[in-house]
Amino acid sequence: MKKDNEMQHGSMTMHDHQMDMHSMSNEAHDMGQAAMQDKQDTMATMDHHQMQHGGHDHMDMMDHGGQMMHMGNMRLKLIVAVILTIPLLILTPMMGVYLPFTVTDRPGQSWLILLLGSIIFFYSGSPFYQGARGELAARKPAMMTLITMGISVAYVYSVYVTIQEMLHPEQMGMNFFWELASLIIIMLIGHIVEMNAVMRAGSAVDALSDLMPDVAHMQMQDMVHDVPTNTLAVHDRVLVKANERVPLDGMIVEGSAQIDESLLTGEVALVAKKTGDDVVGGSLNGNQPFVMMVTKKADAGYVSQVQQLVAVAQKNKSRVENLADQVASWLFYAATMIGVLALIIWTVLNGMSFALPIAVTVFIIACPHALGLAVPLVVARLTGLAASRGLLIQNRTALEQVDRLRYVVLDKTGTLTEGKFTVQQVVAYNDAPESEILAQIAALEAGSVHPIGQSIMAYAQAQQVPVPSAENVASITGVGVQGTINGQSLKIVSGQYLQEHGQSVALLTGPYTVSYLVTQADEVLGAIALGDQIKPQAAAFITALQARQLIPVMLTGDNEQAAQAIATELGITHVEAGLKPEDKATRVQQYQQSGLVMFVGDGVNDSLALATADLGVAIGSGTEVAINAADVVLVNSNPIDILALLDLAHQSNRKMKENLAWGAGYNVIAIPLAAGLLIPFGFTLSPMVGAIIMSLSTVIVALNAMTLRLKENV
C-alpha cells in the first residue's frame, strides 16, 4: 500500500492507535446499513441514460444513451465519410454553387449521389442516433439530438428532391447531401479531437477490487486448500500468511498479527490484532500468519461497500451537464419550434410547396457545425497545455465548475506532506554514542518489511553506521519487537509502554513516531523519532489558495496531534483527523451544501471523497484507486500545479463560453431569417448564404481556441 505516514510500530502512540483502529474496524463492518441501502436503491433506480450523460469525454465514446463507441469505430466512420464525400463533392453543387469541377447530367448520377449520401448518413451518422436515443430517453435533448435532427431533415428532404427530379426532370430542386456529409465529418472530427485530448479514466471500482486477493487459503480438517476468494462463505476458516492481504472481513480465531489498515485511515500503521479481534478484507498482514473466520461474504464486506459508494458518487457526478450540451438543448427547442411554426404559417399563406423549403432551411441551418467544434478545440488546447505542466485531465466536464469553487479539501499524508517517513532525531539516554543506539535499533528492524523499519535501515546506511546482527528477533504483540544483540536482550517499545511500566524518562514530543530502545529490564537506552516532511511548496500553495478566496480544509485519517501540527505550520484552520473513507466523503458532502468542493488526495481511503467532490484531483504518486477516481491527476505530485490547473480551467471556461456564443449567436440570427422573418421585405436567406456564415463561424471558434495560454509565472 502506497502511503508512508505516521507509522505506529513501536511508537509512543501505538496503544491508543490500536484502540482507535479496533473501533474503526468494528464501525466499518457495522456502518450505516440503512444509509447504505438508501444509496444502493438510488443507484438501482437512477436512470441509466442520465448516469452516462457526460461520458463522451473518454477514449471510448460513452454517448448519452450509454452506448459504447470505440475510438477505432469512430475513426473508421470518419474515414468512410471522407472517402465517400470526395465523389459526392464532384457530383453535387457545394452550398448550392456549381464549381468548375462539378460533374452534371451523367446517366444514373442522381442514383449514385443518393447511394453515397445514404451510406454516409446510415453508417457514419449512426453514433449521433445512438446518442440522441439516449438523450431523448433521459428527456434531455442536447448536442446529439440537435445533430440528428439536422442530418435527418437534410437526408429526408434530399431523398424527396432526388425522387422528384427523377420523376419530373423539369422540376430541378436543391438537395443537401453535401451539407449532410460535411456536418457528419465535422462532428466526428470534433468528437475524436475531444476523445484524443482527454485520456481515458480508469475504473476506481475495478482498482478497489484489485485490493482483494483472488485466492484464499481455506482451512478444512487441519488441511489448507487454495480456493477462489469469492467462493468463501460465512464461518469458513482461512489461513492468512505473512505479508498477504486479508481476503475478506473476518475475525481472528488463532494467533495474532500486526495489520496495515491504511485503506481505512490512509496511514500505514501496523495495528496489533489478537484472537477475537476483527480484520478488514483488503488490509495487509505483517510478518505473522494467523487463522481467521469469515464474518462477511465478498459482496457484503467493507471494500464492497466502499465500491458501491464510489460507483454511486461517480455516476451522480457524471449527470452534470456540460456547457455545449446546455446550449445545444436550447438551440434544439428553438429550431424545432421556429421550424414548425414557419411550416404552418407559410403553408397557410402560400401553400406547402412554398413552406417546405423554408422549414427545411431552418432545421439545416440549426446544424451545429461551429457549436460542435466550439468545445472540442478548446479541450484539445487545454489538455495539451495541462499535460505540459504535468496535469492529466480525465474528466473535463468537472473543470467547467471551477469558477464556482469555494473549498479546497486536502488529504494530509502524500498531499501536503511527502508521505515518506524519515529519521528526524536519535537520542541516547546513557553514555553510549547516538550512532550505537541507531545501530542497535537498525539491527532489530533489519528484517522488517514495513516502511518504518526500512526507513531506519536506509538512514543507518546513509550515516554509514555499521549494523550488527540480531538473533531471536520476534514481534511483541501490542508492544514492538525484541531480539538479542551481542548477547544482550533488547526491545523496541512505545512511549505508552514506558508510561505503563512506570518509567519516568522524558519522552520526545512533537508530530513524530517515536520508538524507544530498552533492555529486558526496561532500562531506557535511547530513542529514535521518525516523521513526515511537509512538501516545500505546500505553504506557498495554501497562501495562494487563500489569496484567491478559496478556503483550504484538511481531512486526514491520521491522529489529531500530527494533523494539528501540520495544519498550524501551513496556516490551515479547518482540520479534522481520524477519519475513515466514508467520513471524508460525508464531510465533502457537508461542505458542498455551502459551495462547490475540490478534493485533493492520493490514498485508497481518498477514493470515495475524490469521486464525491465536484472536482477530484489525485496526486500522481498516489494509489491506482485514487488516480482512477479523480478528474485530474497531478503527475509531478506538486501542489503548486493545482494553481496552474485553476488558471487554465478559468481561461478555458471563458474560451468555451466565447466559442459557444459565436456558434449559437450565428443560429440566433440565421434561424429567424431562414424562417422567413424578412420575406415580406423582399429578403430571403438561402441555404448557401447560411452555409457561408456557418463556415466563417467555425473558423472564428478555431482561432479563438488557439489563443488559450498557460501563464508562465504560476
- pLDDT tier, 242 (very low <50, low <70, confident <90, very high otherwise): confident
Whether the per-residue pLDDT at 439 is higher than 90: the answer is yes
Contact 145, 135 (CB under 8 A): yes
Is this structure's pTM higher than 0.95? Answer: no
Residue 338 has pLDDT above 60, yes or no: yes
Question: Helices 143-167 and 369-388 meet at what angle, rounded to 10?
Answer: 140
Nearest Cα to 265, choosing from 493, 449, 509, 17?
Answer: 17
- Averaged over 391-405, what is the pLDDT? 86
| 422-531: CATH number | 3.40.1110.10
Q: Do 683 and 669 form a contact (C-beta atoms < 8 A)? A: no
Domain boundaries of the chain, sorted by first residue? 59-197, 382-418+534-651, 422-531
For 129-150, give one letter per residue: b (16+ CB within 10 A) or e: bbbbbbbbebebbbbbbbbbbb
- Which cell numbers in the block locate residue 57? 469525454
Residue 1, pLDDT > 50, answer: no
pLDDT above 60 (res 657): yes
**Catalytic option among 57, 411, 558, 631:** 411
Lowest mean pLDDT among 7-16, 247-256, 265-274: 7-16
The answer to whether residue 411 is catalytic is: yes
Digit-coded pLDDT (tens) for 666-681: 777 778 888 888 888 8
Whether residue 645 has pLDDT greater than 80: yes
Q: In which band, very low, low, confident or very high, does the pLDDT at 315 lie, cut at 50, 70 and 90?
A: low
Alpha helix (H) residue ranges in 432-537: 434-445, 451-462, 495-500
pLDDT digits (tens, 9 = 90+) for 584-618: 999 999 999 999 999 998 877 888 899 899 999 98
The cell 465514446 sits on which residue?
61
pLDDT band at 294 (very low <50, low <70, confident <90, very high): very high
Residue 277: count other Cβ atoms within 10 Å of its Cβ. Answer: 20
Asked whether the predicted pLDDT for residue 57 surpasses 60, the reply is no
Instruction: State the pLDDT confidence band at 19, using cuts at 50, 70 and 90.
Output: very low
Give the mean model confidence (pLDDT) for residues 513-521: 88
pLDDT at residue 204 is higher than 70:
no
Residue pLDDT, tens place only, 343-366:
899 899 888 888 887 888 787 777
C-alpha distances (whole Å) from 427 to each of 133, 146, 430, 438, 636 are: 71, 73, 9, 9, 35
Q: Which residues, in sequence order, are CB contacts of 321 under 8 Å at separation 6+?
A: 53, 54, 140, 142, 329
- Round the average pLDDT of the chain to a whole number and report it: 78
Phi, psi of 23 (to 5 degrees): -65, -40
Task: List, for residues 34-54, the tens digit of each pLDDT value.
Answer: 333 333 333 333 333 333 333
At 604, phi and psi to the nearest 5? Answer: -55, -40
Q: What confidence tier does 28 reach under pLDDT thresholds 50, 70, 90?
A: very low
From the list 334, 335, 356, the residue with the least C-alpha distance to 345 is 356
CA quadruple 495, 497, 503, 508: dihedral, nearest 10: 0
Q: How many helices (H) and strands (E) does the chain have?
A: 25, 24
**CATH class name, domain 382-418+534-651:** alpha beta
